[in-house]
């Protein structure tokens, strides 16, 4: 954290600080943790993600003896936050049987009605950011989808990203995503 410019060692002046490091101003917003979970319509449990699956049901609609909607459809949902406590805009990764990008179809009406996430991240002032989505054959994340997610959803949060102290972004993801990425010029 010190070497990358996110923090410095605690001194005698920092008596209120718990721990050994003091985050430099504005750096808590630049450290993010994202994790994935399953989103199902049928309450099935999978072995992916670090959180239990999210189950979408309608409690006001009769469903027989169980509140489970029987459906084999699942999606991957990525959520997270900054160390400062700002939520990262959710990302939905849908399953698609389309053989080409042009053949992929999804109704974007739902996304237009999703609340936008407010945060500062790498901007001078608080802004709002949309929910994002992607598609692939399994509805999950792999290194290609993760790179597209970072390009589409994370880089816009930090337009000032640069490989210099104070402008770096530290993103923690699960090791199962098998992805490494070093700073690159996104301009």
- 168: Cβ–Cβ under 8 A, 6 or more apart, which residues? 4, 5, 6, 30, 161, 162, 183
Structure tokens at 88: 């990262």
Closest to 78 measured CA to CA, from 38, 46, 40, 112: 38
pTM: predicted TM-score of the whole model, two decimal places: 0.69
**In this predicted structure, what is the pLDDT of residue 68?**
47
Going from N- to C-terminal start, the domains of the chain cover 31-168
CA 112/CA 109 separation, integer angstroms: 5
**In this predicted structure, what is the pLDDT of residue 98?**
57
Tens digit of pLDDT at every position of the chain (187 positions): 899 999 998 888 887 888 888 999 999 999 999 988 776 545 455 544 455 555 556 666 655 444 444 445 567 888 999 999 999 999 988 877 655 556 656 666 777 788 899 999 999 999 999 988 887 777 677 788 888 889 999 999 999 999 999 999 999 987 655 444 444 444 4
CA 116/CA 126 separation, integer angstroms: 12
**In this predicted structure, what is the pLDDT of residue 36?**
81
**In this predicted structure, what is the pLDDT of residue 107?**
65
Structure tokens at 50: 């670090």
**In this predicted structure, what is the pLDDT of residue 184?**
47
Structure tokens at 10: 């605690």
Q: Identify the three-state secondary structure at position 55.
A: strand
> Would you say 93 and 136 are in contact if contact means Cβ atoms under 8 Å apart?
yes
**In this predicted structure, what is the pLDDT of residue 114?**
82
């Amino acid at each position: 954290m010190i070497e990358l410019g996110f923090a410095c060692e605690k001194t005698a002046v920092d008596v209120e600080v718990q721990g050994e490091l003091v985050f430099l101003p504005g750096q808590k917003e630049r450290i993010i943790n994202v994790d994935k979970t399953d989103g199902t319509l049928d309450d099935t449990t999978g072995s992916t993600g670090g959180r239990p699956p999210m189950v979408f049901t309608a409690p006001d609609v009769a469903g027989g003896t169980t509140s489970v909607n029987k459906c084999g459809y699942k999606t991957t949902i990525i959520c997270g936050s900054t160390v400062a406590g700002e939520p990262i805009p959710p990302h939905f990764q849908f399953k698609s049987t389309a053989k080409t990008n042009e053949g992929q179809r999804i109704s974007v009406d739902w996304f237009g009605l999703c609340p936008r996430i407010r945060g500062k991240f790498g901007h001078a002032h608080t802004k709002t950011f949309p929910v994002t989505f992607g598609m692939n054959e399994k509805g999950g994340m792999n290194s290609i989808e993760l790179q597209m997610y970072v390009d589409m959803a994370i880089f816009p949060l930090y337009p000032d990203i640069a490989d210099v102290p104070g402008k770096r972004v530290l993103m923690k993801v699960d090791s199962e995503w098998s992805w490494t990425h070093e700073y690159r010029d996104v301009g």
